[in-house]
A and B are shown apart, each in its own frame.
Chain A
């Protein structure tokens, strides 16, 4: 027998570790259209049954407030086509009542439900005893404790699933929380929906029936996109059915009353099945928070934790990146020796393929280290506290404290920063974070700053001015993130109704396997990207600099007359207000895949010696040839500080938002902003006599 099991529950309930424990083999299914939730499916064999587990995104209610949350209601109602035979409800015993709220909704779906209690050991340590039999008896749903030896727990859960799947469909065990009249109205609305071929959960219908005008409007807006995605053929029909339901007169009891009834029912069950040893006992978490969240020590510890995190992605990754770089160099040498008789093929493989993909691969250590930290911070419960401490500083911009880690990571590299935005549940805040993290000055900007500062600033104005310029360029982008996020959120994004309510979970020790999973997942995502889209782009960019071929030309002349060089000369007039010559603009175009390519491109164009001392020889050459005035050099640094010269960033934005639109938006707004501030810098400094 094939049994489909849906795993669902609140966020932080321990769903993922249960999923990992239950499923032997796992697969990841492509993104849902329009959103970035990835469906994970696990498989297990039990006696003669094959079980498939669907890991659904955690949510607090089946009345979705975002497209991401809609995934769970879609699956539980069967709107996605796949229908669950059994629902495995993951229940956090530390926040039992709030978890049971979602369970009262899940029980209404008419499917067989089995509940699994997690974190029962921690609950006991807090003096909280849960009587499983009473809880099961009173709620009408059988509860299983997940604590214990994994094989035994697995056996218990599998047996319960198989038994539940074999049973005849039974009536919903949950009491009626709506009242007679409203229940009838819900049933009638359900008929209307089913006539169009869709279905909704009773709670979803009731919110649409009984909500205030603004609530109804927001639900319809949510469905506006969603109906089209679910039902490409008859989305309009479904929408008009929804509008008809929303247009009905207000109900007897409101939605708020149904929520109150659910909690009243929960309170009565919890009261009878849960005993507290010492009702006012201080838990370990509250003792730890006394220190970690105290007004003085709290921020100090906070800075300590994030200094270590920043050091880790910035400094600890260096030796690992060095290993990857030398591995790539070895590979290039090997390929170079093998292909020496085929000059074009040689250049394609050595420079285009290995060089291009290699320049992106070096970011892998930073991503893996960052995600190890995020996993530890998130699982331990500290990430929520960090968001809480920083929230007020960023909330004016429409972001929340949850954007702090992505922004900080951006100083090392935008790519892990953008990926770290996965921890932000509010979609508007998440997109605004993804679109502003690339402004933060990442490590690849440093070579550009250093080249131009050492060529034009340091020799003339001294070390202090050089250091000041360096510091200024490193902070410029970060200072712009919040104002830009504010504009993006206000002007261009739909406000998301997901409130910034932040659960403060009890502290716990992260498990090794879950930290490993997070690292592996982020690492694989990145490698897949480097292996596909970035790989193809690398070849295209290489070809543009390789063709057309010039006979017996120097490397500088070959580049100058290539398609890439022609493109650089073509855009030169756009940059003439800042007095950039064609060599510089070829550099700007060539640096599209990665900004540090400006240095090597100028190296070729200025025919500086390709020795170990390339850098200082190039800066010497630039200074000697007076290629830029101080004003023009500063303008160029500002341009590179803010422009979106990074192919891997754009590809990551496309992947993480699920939409090409945001990648384009990022490229155009950053380039425009970079140009504008670059021009302002030039005009200001020239009028100060530095032109």
Chain B
């Protein structure tokens, strides 16, 4: 199943399918490891539900909904 990263639940794991690459801001997110094929796990949400914390490669990073909406994740068995 393919979902937006922003729609994933706490503890869910998936594989990155695609990331927006329109501008410098997007490119930096990509370069920080949000590339197609990498595994990603949701590890937390801030008190108001945004930003979210994820584990990618071997580090933890938090990102805002405005960015996590642009990252598509493959979840479930096919991953």
Contact = CB atoms under 8 A, between A and B. Distances in A.
Interface of A: 60-61, 63, 65, 94-98, 101, 128, 207, 211-212, 214-215, 218-219, 222, 254-256, 259-260, 263-264, 285-286, 289, 293, 295, 298-299, 384, 388-389, 391-393, 395, 497-504
B25 to A, nearest CB: 4
A651 to B, nearest CB: 33
What are the 5 A-B residue pairs with the smallest beta carbon separation, nearest first? Answer: A95-B59, A497-B24, A504-B60, A97-B57, A392-B48
Nearest to B52: A388
A308 B47 CA distance: 22
16 contacts: A95-B57, A212-B23, A215-B22, A215-B27, A218-B24, A222-B24, A295-B47, A299-B47, A388-B62, A391-B50, A497-B28, A498-B25, A500-B51, A500-B63, A503-B59, A504-B60
Contacts of B38: 263
Interface residues of B, number: 36
A263 B32 CA distance: 10
B62 A499 contact: no
A395 B64 contact: yes
Contacts of B27: 63, 65, 207, 211, 215, 255-256
Interface in B43-66: 43-44, 46-51, 53, 57-64
Nearest to A293: B44
Interface of B: 19, 21-33, 35-38, 43-44, 46-51, 53, 57-64, 67
Contacts, number: 132
B33 to A, nearest CB: 5
Nearest to B59: A95
Contacts of A128: 58
Nearest to A105: B31
Nearest to B45: A295
Contacts of B44: 289, 293
B18 to A, nearest CB: 9
A498 B37 contact: no
Contacts of A256: 19, 21, 27, 30, 35-36
A494 B77 CA distance: 44
B63 A501 contact: yes
B28 A501 contact: yes
Contacts of A215: 21-24, 26-27
B59 to A, nearest CB: 4
A94 B28 contact: no
Contacts of A391: 46, 50-51, 62, 64
Contacts of A61: 28, 31
A631 to B, nearest CB: 40
B23 A214 contact: yes
Contact of B22 (A214, A259, A499): A214
A219 B28 CA distance: 13
B33 A392 contact: no
Given A61-B28, A260-B36, A502 B19 contact: no
Given A500-B63, A501-B63, A98 B33 contact: yes
Contacts of A98: 32-33, 57-59
B28 A97 contact: no
A562 B60 CA distance: 62
Contact of A218 (B23, B43, B53, B58): B23
A376 to B, nearest CB: 20
A214 B51 CA distance: 26
Contact of B31 (A222, A254, A259, A293): A259
A215 B30 CA distance: 13
Contacts of B58: 94-98, 128
A274 B45 CA distance: 30
A628 B63 CA distance: 52
Contacts of A497: 23-25, 28
